[in-house]
Amino acid sequence: MADPCTTLVALAGKLDKLALIRRLCDMIAIPSENPFDQAPSLGYREQEMGDYLLQRLKELSFEVDSHELSPGRRNVWGRLKGKGNGPSLMLVGHLDTVGTEGYPEAFRPRVDGDCVYGRGACDMKGALACYLETARLIVESDIELNGDLLIVGVVDEEWQLTGSQHLGLHGPWADYAIVGEGTSSGANKELSICAAHKGDYAVKIRTFGTAVHSSVPEQGHNAISDMAEVVRSIDRYHRELGQREPHPLCGHGTASVGVISGGSMACTVPDCCEIHVDRRMLPGETVEQINSEYEQLLGRIPRLRFEIGDPLTITAALDVPVDCEVVEASVEAYKAVTGNLPTIRAHPAATDAPNLGFPAVIFGPGAVEQAHTVDEFVRIDELEIATKVYLGVVLRLLSAEEADV
C-alpha cells in the first residue's frame, strides 16, 4: 500500500492556487446575506450561493441534491460515491453571511498581497472554495474511495442554525464531518483543530412592579430597581461559574447581560423591566439546569416578581473526544502538511457542528476576529494549508489505497 504522506505530497503538489482564489472570488461576488427575520429576497438569501456550489459539484461528477427549508433557502450537497466498504466523510459549511452595513464594497472581491478581501472571505466561503479544490484533486487524480465524500452547504448559520438542524434530522448523514469555520489563532496565526465549543442560551428575564406617579414612588414598586438587583445577581453568578470545575478545552461557562429596557417616562414609576441574558454553556450543561439556577438565584431577592421568557437562542455545545478517528486523522494530516503538531482547542464561537448528529471537528482558514468585520479577509496561505489538510483527511479516512495503512 502507498504511504499516505507520499500520496498526499503528490496530490498537494497539483493544488491550483489561482483556481482556488478565483473560486473564492466568485463566491464573494454572490450576495448571500442572511435575511434574519425578514423574507428572503434577491441579495438576502442563500439560493444563488447554493446554485453555484451545486454547479461546481456537478462539474466534478458528484451526485447532487438539495432540501428546501423555505423559498429561496435550501441545503445543497454533492456526493462522490465510494465502494461502500468504508466510512463516509462530510465537508460542511454555511452558505450565508452576515450583513454589509458600512461595508460598501463587501461583494467586490479583492486580492491584495497575500490576502483575499470581501464579505464571506473567512466566514466561510474560503472553506467552501477549499472543499471544491479538494474535490477536484481527488476526482482528477482518479483516487478510489472506500467510503462516500460529501460536500454540503447549509443555510442560516448566522442566525438560528436552521440549516444544520434540518440536516441533522433529515440528512444527508455521514460517519464524520469537518466544519470549515476559521480556526487561525495565536501569534503565528496557525490553524488549530477544534474538537469542542461552548453552547449558547440567551433568554429574556422580566421584573414586574406597580406603576404610580413618580411624585409618590412609595405607593408603587419600581421594576427597574428590582432589575438592578437581578443584574448584580447575574454578575455574581458569572463569577461563581468561574469557580466551577472547568471543561478541559472549553474552560468555564459564562453569563452576561447584553440588553436592558424598561419604563415609559421619567414621571412614572415603571411596572416592568426586561433584560437579555447570554449564557455560554459547557458540554453537559442543559437549558433546564440553567433555568433552575436562574430560579434559585432570583428567588433569593426579596419581593421580586419575575418571569423567565422563552429562549432567544439555543445552540448546542460540541464535545468530540480527542481520540475520535476524525480528530486523529485531522492531526495526522496537519502534521504531514506542515511538519508540526497542531493545537487542539475549543472554538470560541458556536457552530453548526453539534447539530449534525455525528462526530465533527472544526478546522478552516481564517480567524474569528476577522469574521463580521467591515474589512473581512482570509490569508491565501491558510487556504492552501486547509485544502491540503482536508485532502489528507480524505485520504486517511476514505481512500482505498490508504485503508490498510
Tell me which residue range forms the domain holding 233. Answer: 199-314
* CATH number for the domain harbouring residue 357: 3.40.630.10
Q: In the structure grid, which three cell numbers stand for residue 188, read together?
A: 503565528
97, 156: one domain? yes
Position 180 in a domain: yes
Q: Indicate the residue among 247, 279, 314 that finishes a domain.
A: 314
Position 403 in a domain: no
Position 405 in a domain: no
pLDDT in tens, 370-394: 999 999 999 999 999 999 999 999 9
163, 111: one domain? yes
Position 325 in a domain: yes
pLDDT beyond 60 at 401? no
Residue 270, pLDDT score:
97
pLDDT beyond 90 at 51? yes
148, 247: one domain? no
Q: What is the tally of structural domains in the chain?
A: 2
Per-residue pLDDT band at 10 (split at 50, 70, 90): confident
Q: Are 153 and 94 in contact (CB under 8 A)?
A: yes
* CATH number for the domain harbouring residue 256: 3.30.70.360
Q: Indicate the residue among 314, 339, 371 that finishes a domain.
A: 314
d(CA 203, CA 312): 5
State pTM to two decimals: 0.92
Kindly provide the b/e burial profile for residues 40-50, where b requires at least 16 CB atoms within 10 angstroms of the residue's own CB. beeebbbbbbb
- Please, what is the average pLDDT of the chain? 95
212, 326: one domain? no
242, 309: one domain? yes
What element of type H or E holds 238? helix 223-241
Q: Indicate the residue among 268, 283, 314 that finishes a domain.
A: 314
d(CA 47, CA 83): 32
Per-residue pLDDT band at 3 (split at 50, 70, 90): low
